[in-house]
Structure 1
Amino acid sequence: MTDSVIQSQIKVTGDCPRVQKWMRFLIWKITIATLLLMAVGSATRVMNAGLACPDWPLCYGQLVPSQQMNLQVFLEWFHRLDASLIGLSTLVLVGLSWWFRKELPKWLPWASVSALGLIVFQGVLGGLTVTQLLRFDIVTAHLGTALLFLGTLIVIAVCLIPYQGTTNAKKLSWGATIAVTLVYLQCLLGALVGSRWAVHQCFGGSQLCAVMNSHIIGVFPATVATLSVVFIAWRTSALHPWLRKLAWVTGGIVALQILLGVATFRLHLQVEPLTVAHHTCGAALFGTLVALTTLAIRDVRSSSLPCGANAQKLEVRSQN
Structure 2
Amino acid sequence: MTESVLQGQLKTSRDRPQIQKWMGLLVWKIAIATLLLMAVGSATRVMNAGLACPDWPLCYGQLVPTQQMNLQVFLEWFHRLDASLIGLSTLAFVGLSWWFRKELPKWLPWAAVGALGLILFQGVLGGLTVTQMLRFDIVTAHLGTALLFFATLVVIALCLTPYQGTATAGKLRWVGMTAAILVYIQCLLGGLVGSRWALHQCFGDSQLCAVMNSHIIGVFPATIASLTVVFLAWRTPALHPHLRKLAWVVGGVVVLQVLLGVATFYLHLQVEPLTVTHHIVGAALFGTLVALTTLAIRDTSRNIQSLGNS
- Decide whether the 8 Å contact of 1:164 with 1:302 is kept in 2: no
Q: Which residue of 1 aligns with 2:83?
A: 83
How far, CA to CA, are the matches of 2:255 and 2:133 in structure 1?
35
Q: Which residue of 2 aligns with 1:71?
A: 71
| 1:227-261 C-alpha deviation (Å, 9 max, x unpaired) | 00000001012110000000000111101100100
Q: Which residue of 2 aligns with 1:110?
A: 110
- Decide whether the 8 Å contact of 2:34 with 2:150 is kept in 1: yes
- Percentage identity across paired residues of the two chains: 79
Q: Which amino acid aligns with 2:35?
A: L
Larger Rg: 1
- Decide whether the 8 Å contact of 1:28 with 1:157 is kept in 2: yes
Q: Which residue of 1 aligns with 2:158?
A: 158
Report how far residue 308 of structure 1 moved.
Answer: 5.6
| 1:136-172 C-alpha deviation (Å, 9 max, x unpaired) | 0000000000000000000000101111111111210
Q: Which amino acid aligns with 1:155?
A: V
- Decide whether the 8 Å contact of 1:193 with 1:211 is kept in 2: yes
How far, CA to CA, are the matches of 2:308 and 2:267 in structure 1?
52
Structure 1: which 4+ aligned runs deviate by more than 2 Å? 6-12, 302-309
Question: TM-score, normalised on structure 2?
Answer: 0.95
| 1:96-135 C-alpha deviation (Å, 9 max, x unpaired) | 0000001100000000000000000000000000000000
Q: Which residue of 1 aligns with 2:35?
A: 35
How far, CA to CA, are the matches of 1:19 and 1:208 in structure 2?
51
Unaligned runs of 5+ in 1: 1-5, 310-320
- Decide whether the 8 Å contact of 1:170 with 1:300 is kept in 2: yes
Q: Which residue of 1 aligns with 2:3?
A: none
Alignment of 1:55-204 (within 5 A): 55-204=55-204
How far, CA to CA, are the matches of 1:300 and 1:90 in structure 2?
30
Question: TM-score, normalised on structure 1?
Answer: 0.92
Unaligned runs of 5+ in 2: 1-5
| Greater Cα offset, 163-172 or 104-113 | 163-172
Compute the RMSD of aligned alpha carbons: 1.5
SS of the equivalent of 1:134 reads coil
Greater relative contact order (Cα < 8 A, sep 6+): 1
How far, CA to CA, are the matches of 2:10 and 2:262 in structure 1?
56
How far, CA to CA, are the matches of 2:306 and 2:93 in structure 1?
22
SS of the equivalent of 1:65 reads coil
- Decide whether the 8 Å contact of 1:162 with 1:305 is kept in 2: no
Q: Which amino acid aligns with 2:272?
A: E
Q: Which amino acid aligns with 1:225?
A: A
| 1:50-102 C-alpha deviation (Å, 9 max, x unpaired) | 00000000000000000000000000000000000000000000000000001
Cα distance change, pair 130–308 in 1 and its aligned pair in 2 (3 A): closer
